[in-house]
């Protein structure tokens, strides 16, 4: 476990370790985990240039004002967009790429617990936000991550550590029973990162679990099951919730620490302190470049590694990635723009 004290000590070195002007993209950053992670990155960085994407202009304006108060030397650009739509993701990425030559960090936390809703592009919205949208952002911005001279990192805030069997007949997660849905979705996300990382050994990829956090993911949920979930969250929150500030600090650590290097070791991060070890990757190899991390920043463990190893042996990485490529081509005609 990486203690909060160790996390904060590392984050305090970010501005002196990295040069001014790190470029970061935060998707789904107008509330909850995305917002707090964005604020901590802005606070600790030297003159960062940050793009953050969300659906609410009001929230975007509020957060921009807060960021300027935290670090007046940074540049902050809010982009209002519905990133459940792949074509909108393409537009957002084109906008960012027209303004930057390189990108250091991509953090994605967009999502919803509303199930059974379809996007206008024919995707299950919950899966689109958790996987399709995120993979499209990565593919579109990957060439710009390659160009970064220092930090090159992708973080997907989801449910690492809860990977489970994938239903290959229901990649969209429309019919998968609720008890298997979370495992299905998280394995799809983690194996996607492995597929992309195979072509990008100079970039570090993280699926991170924040723990129990007060977020807006339950907004709009209906039905007796979701009602029970909301009640359960309300009961547990005062006793088990992790403070938003701590979550932001921990994801800032994931974004910048040398504990999580790329597979070729070129994704430089803040040097780790004595007693802190380089993380085990999803294959069980230390420093493999793809990480499934628990709420303390450590590897999700042997059980998850075994689940993922079994699926790799069954060719699931290729099947999962073939699904995403097929959907991207169906919707836009190309795998990436």
DSSP code per residue over 209-262: ---S---STTTT--SHHHHHHHHHHHHHHHHHPPPHHHHHHHHHHHHHBTTS--
Pairing of strands 153-157, 204-208: parallel
pLDDT tens per residue, range 286-326:
999 999 999 999 999 999 999 999 999 999 999 999 999 99
Distances (CA, A) of 137 to 32, 77, 154: 20, 17, 10
The CATH superfamily assigned to 4-330 is NAD(P)-binding Rossmann-like Domain (3.40.50.720)
User: How many CB atoms sit inside 10 A of residue 214's CB?
Assistant: 15
pLDDT tens per residue, range 213-232:
665 544 544 555 444 444 54
Q: In whole angstroms, what is the distance from residue 325 CA to residue 38 CA?
A: 30
Q: What is the pTM of this model?
A: 0.92
For the chain, the domains span: 4-330
Structural tokens at position 20: 């001014």
pLDDT tens per residue, range 191-218:
999 999 999 999 999 999 998 666 554 4
């Amino acid at each position: 476990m990486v203690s909060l004290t160790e996390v904060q000590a590392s984050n305090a070195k970010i501005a002196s370790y990295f040069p001014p002007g790190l470029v970061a993209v935060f998707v789904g950053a107008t509330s909850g985990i995305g917002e707090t992670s964005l604020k901590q990155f802005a606070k600790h960085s030297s003159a960062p240039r940050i793009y953050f994407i969300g659906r609410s202009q009001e929230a975007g304006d509020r957060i921009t004002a807060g960021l300027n108060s935290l670090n007046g030397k940074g540049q902050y650009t809010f982009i209002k967009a519905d990133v459940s739509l792949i074509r909108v993701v393409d537009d957002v990425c084109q906008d960012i790429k027209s303004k930057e030559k390189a990108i250091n960090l991509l953090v994605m936390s967009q999502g919803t617990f509303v199930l059974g809703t379809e996007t206008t592009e024919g995707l299950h919205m919950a899966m689109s936000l958790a996987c399709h949208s995120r993979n499209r952002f990565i593919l579109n911005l990957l060439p710009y991550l390659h160009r970064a001279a220092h930090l090159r990192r992708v973080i997907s805030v989801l449910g690492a550590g809860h990977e489970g069997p994938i239903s290959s007949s229901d990649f969209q997660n429309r019919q998968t029973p609720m008890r298997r849905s979370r495992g299905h979705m998280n394995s799809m996300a983690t194996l996607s990162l492995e597929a992309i990382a195979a072509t990008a050994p100079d970039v570090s990829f993280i699926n991170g679990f924040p723990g129990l956090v007060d977020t807006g993911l339950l907004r709009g949920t209906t039905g007796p099951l979701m009602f029970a979930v909301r009640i359960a969250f309300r009961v547990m929150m005062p006793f088990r919730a992790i403070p938003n500030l701590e979550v932001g600090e921990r994801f800032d650590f994931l974004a910048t620490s040398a504990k999580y290097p790329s597979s070729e070791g070129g994704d430089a991060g803040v040097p780790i302190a004595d007693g802190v070890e380089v993380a085990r990757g999803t294959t069980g190899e230390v420093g493999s470049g793809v990480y499934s991390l628990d709420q303390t920043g450590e590897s999700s463990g042997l059980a998850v590694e075994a689940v993922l190893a079994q699926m790799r042996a069954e060719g699931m990485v290729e099947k999962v990635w073939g699904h995403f490529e097929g959907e991207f081509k169906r919707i836009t005609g190309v795998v990436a723009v």
